[in-house]
A and B are shown apart, each in its own frame.
Chain A
Amino acid sequence: MSPGTNLGAQRLPPTREGAFSAPILPLELRDVCYEVGGARLIDGISLTIETGPRTLILGPNGAGKSLLLRLAHGLLRPSAGQVLWRNRKIAGAGRGPRRQAMVFQKPVLLRRSVRANLDHALALHRIGGEERRQRRREALQATGLSDRGDQPARSLSGGEQQRLALARAWALKPQVLFLDEPTSALDPASTRAVEEIVQALHAAGTKIVMTTHDLGQARRLADEVVFLNRGRLLEQGPADRFFTQPQSREAEAYLAGELLW
């Protein structure tokens, strides 16, 4: 397989472990609540996320967007309710290789070379040998970091660091990729590069679930919008409809507020 051939593919090529290629979607949240010290930050959210469309989670600051991603990804355990993948509970994060990945607002990169950062993630997924080399090469190429393999990851610019975080996710070939405001700290050029990579991942068949507070970005990327306010789910539906005919007063105000700026 030559680098880049998976760009246009509809499905992820199967990995070595058969279990890895078994589909995990849809993701279903049932009455999920999350409380910290008595404060209910996520309040009874039920929703289903299907294969295919790019889902963007929108809402004002403090709406619970990041928490929702973490609950879905398994980094947080809901105080009440259930998170089901294909109607089954699966073990939370931190219990071995997974078919989902996440890119954070502020990328956490290891104090090692770019290449070693990818190797670390691939090793956690027990991918070695020739396959590891190949995935590394593809991921670096897809994110435009091919000539940076030997550079210390922490010496990259902010935009490059986020691209490396995306390369790391890319190399793992996840079925679902969660992105938590991946461009909020980046300049326009870097933002564009990140969006292009996200598009490429989408084109390669990875389900994208992303939060953003940048409505322009949401318009560019979203196929489907999930709108939250104060920990509650107010709307879920096609992006076109959300942007043109928001169903809730809050969404209307949110979209209007954006126009005022």
Chain B
Amino acid sequence: MNDLLQAFGQALRLLTSLDASLLEIIALSLRVSLTAVGLAALFGLPLGAAIALFRFPGRRTAVVLLNAMMGLPPVVVGLVIYLLLSRSGPLGVLGLLFTPTAMIVAQFVLVLPIVAALTRQSMEDLWHEYEEQLRSLGSTPARAIPTLLWDGRFTLLTAILAGFGRASAEVGAVMIVGGNIDHVTRMMTTAIALETSKGDLPLALGLGFVLLTLTIAVNGAAELVRRWSKGWTG
């Protein structure tokens, strides 16, 4: 209990002092996670919608695999991406290991199935409701994808936020491919892991509260966007 209070105080101190190195870590965390989630949305939304609307052999299997991939273990993803990006690996020449880009790639891989799988489900439900009307209007399944994505935007925002939650809370993959290098690839989660290993539990927990605050802020911003948009589109 004492530890928790201390951690809470620590978090307040961290947030109010706006310590430069803390800001750096926060900025990197947001940059990496938001980019990864943005890219995952860019690919995952159409992918999920396509699986929902198109009929092709092996579709059932694809759905099961996609759902299962939501549970990809971050450490395994980190390891595979490490082996790919390692200098002695197939993509080594790119020199991406231990860079923010490598962490974006890792989080992208973790988030993509979440966004795609949740999109698939909500698009399938929506298609069920809209199919006759849209086909009557002359829409093909391919043409219906943007229509459904836009009409399902509030559900999809939740899918994207779920992806962001996974990205921002994840430590196993970014630790391996980023290396937790000070001022280069140190993020909120890896910093927490580091402070924990230094035995500075109040600081680690304080950073945890800061991360939580950050996550709440991002979700709050998303809610504002939702309301603003709902106000004039229904």
Instruction: Please report A residues at the B interface, Cβ cutoff 8 Å.
Output: 70, 73, 75, 93-98, 101-102, 104, 107-108, 110-113, 116, 120-121, 124-125, 150-155, 168, 172
Complex CA gap A124/B151 in Å reads 16
Of A95, A111, A125, A168, which contacts B234 at CB under 8 A? A111
Complex CA gap A19/B133 in Å reads 23
Least CB separation from B144: chain A residue: A94
A94-B135 contact, Cβ under 8 Å, with A112-B233, A155-B234: yes
Most buried by A among B130, B133, B232: B133
Residues of A within 8 A of B130 (CB): 108
Complex CA gap A38/B234 in Å reads 42
- Enumerate B104-151 residues with CB–CB distance to A below 8 Å: 129-130, 132-141, 143, 147, 150-151
Across the interface, do A110 and B135 meet the contact criterion of CB distance under 8 Å? no
Least CB separation from A120: chain B residue: B147
* B interface majority secondary structure: helix
Q: Mark B31-55, 1 if CB is under 8 A from A, else 0.
A: 0000000000000000000000000
Most buried by A among B132, B134, B136, B140: B136
A177: min CB distance to chain B, Å: 11
Least CB separation from A114: chain B residue: B234
A100: min CB distance to chain B, Å: 8
Residues of B within 8 A of A111 (CB): 150-151, 153, 233-234
Across the interface, do A121 and B132 meet the contact criterion of CB distance under 8 Å? no
Which 6 A-B pairs have CB atoms at the shortest separation, nearest pair first? A152-B234, A94-B135, A108-B133, A93-B135, A102-B136, A111-B151
Across the interface, do A104 and B133 meet the contact criterion of CB distance under 8 Å? yes
Complex CA gap A94/B132 in Å reads 9
Residues of B within 8 A of A153 (CB): 234
Across the interface, do B139 and A112 meet the contact criterion of CB distance under 8 Å? no
Interface size on B, residues (CB 8 A): 20
Complex CA gap A191/B151 in Å reads 28
Across the interface, do A124 and B139 meet the contact criterion of CB distance under 8 Å? yes
Across the interface, do B150 and A96 meet the contact criterion of CB distance under 8 Å? no
A105: min CB distance to chain B, Å: 11
Complex CA gap A120/B136 in Å reads 13
Across the interface, do B133 and A95 meet the contact criterion of CB distance under 8 Å? no
Complex CA gap A245/B140 in Å reads 45
Across the interface, do B139 and A113 meet the contact criterion of CB distance under 8 Å? no
A108-B129 contact, Cβ under 8 Å, with A93-B138, A94-B134: yes
Least CB separation from A101: chain B residue: B136
Across the interface, do A150 and B232 meet the contact criterion of CB distance under 8 Å? yes
Complex CA gap A196/B202 in Å reads 73
Residues of A within 8 A of B232 (CB): 113, 150, 152
Complex CA gap A110/B234 in Å reads 9
Of B132, B140, B141, B151, which contacts A110 at CB under 8 A? B151
Residues of B within 8 A of A154 (CB): 234
Residues of A within 8 A of B151 (CB): 110-112
A203: min CB distance to chain B, Å: 23
Across the interface, do A75 and B135 meet the contact criterion of CB distance under 8 Å? yes
Complex CA gap A152/B140 in Å reads 25
B151: min CB distance to chain A, Å: 5
Complex CA gap A172/B130 in Å reads 18
Complex CA gap A112/B132 in Å reads 18
Residues of A within 8 A of B135 (CB): 75, 93-94
Across the interface, do B147 and A96 meet the contact criterion of CB distance under 8 Å? no
Q: What are 28 A-B contacts defined by CB distance under 8 Å?
A: A70-B132, A93-B135, A93-B138, A94-B134, A94-B138, A95-B138, A96-B138, A98-B138, A101-B137, A102-B136, A104-B133, A111-B150, A111-B151, A111-B153, A111-B233, A112-B150, A112-B233, A113-B233, A113-B234, A120-B137, A121-B137, A124-B138, A125-B138, A151-B234, A152-B233, A153-B234, A154-B234, A172-B137
Residues of A within 8 A of B133 (CB): 104, 107-108
Least CB separation from B233: chain A residue: A112
